Amino acid sequence: GAVVSQHPSWVICKSGTSVKIECRSLDFQATTMFWYRQFPKQSLMLMATSNEGSKATYEQGVEKDKFLINHASLTLSTLTVTSAHPEDSSFYICSASDGETQYFGPGTRLLVL
């Protein structure tokens, strides 16, 4: 079946630093990937849609200069949280579409101290 991986699975960083999270589709090509954020006991909130070779589309209220997305290949999208602050601490999850179904990665837990 389709597998999506994320790296790292968890990260702790100091306030003000930048953190990069990778999302890979391991056995299929994904022209479209999605980035979500999930706070404790809440649902997944879509942050942005990442299209290979073009600029990401951000949801309302998501700062594109703070959450940089790069989808350089059909199997890799990256999310960089720039100048992270404690309120950015969350569970970040990506999904990748094979054209029929969206498959989710295992998530990355970010803790900003």
Partner 1 sequence: GQQLNQSPQSMFIQEGEDVSMNCTSSSIFNTWLWYKQDPGEGPVLLIALYKAGELTSNGRLTAQFGITRKDSFLNISASIPSDVGIYFCAGQITGANSKLTFGKGITLSVRP
101 exposure class (CB count in 10 Å sphere: 0-12, 13-18, 19+): exposed
Of the pair 5, 82, the CB lying nearest partner 1 is at 5
Minimum distance from CB of 62 to partner 1 (Å)? Answer: 13
Q: Is residue 32 within the footprint of partner 1 (CB under 8 A)?
A: yes
Residues 7-26 vs partner 1: string with x where CB under 8 A? --------------------
Judged by CB under 8 A, the stretch of 14-22, 68-76, 77-85, 92-100 that binds partner 1 is 92-100
The binder of partner 1 chosen from 42, 63, 73, 85 (CB under 8 A): 42
Beta bridge partners of 46: 36
Taking residue 24's Cβ as centre, other Cβ atoms within 10 Å add up to: 19
Chain positions 53 to 82 lying near partner 1, rule: CB under 8 A, are: 60
Judged by CB under 8 A, the stretch of 11-19, 30-38, 64-72, 75-83 that binds partner 1 is 30-38
DSSP codes, 19-87: EEEEEEESSS--SEEEEEEE-TTS--EEEEEEETTS--EEPTT--TTTEEEEEEETTEEEEEE-S--GG
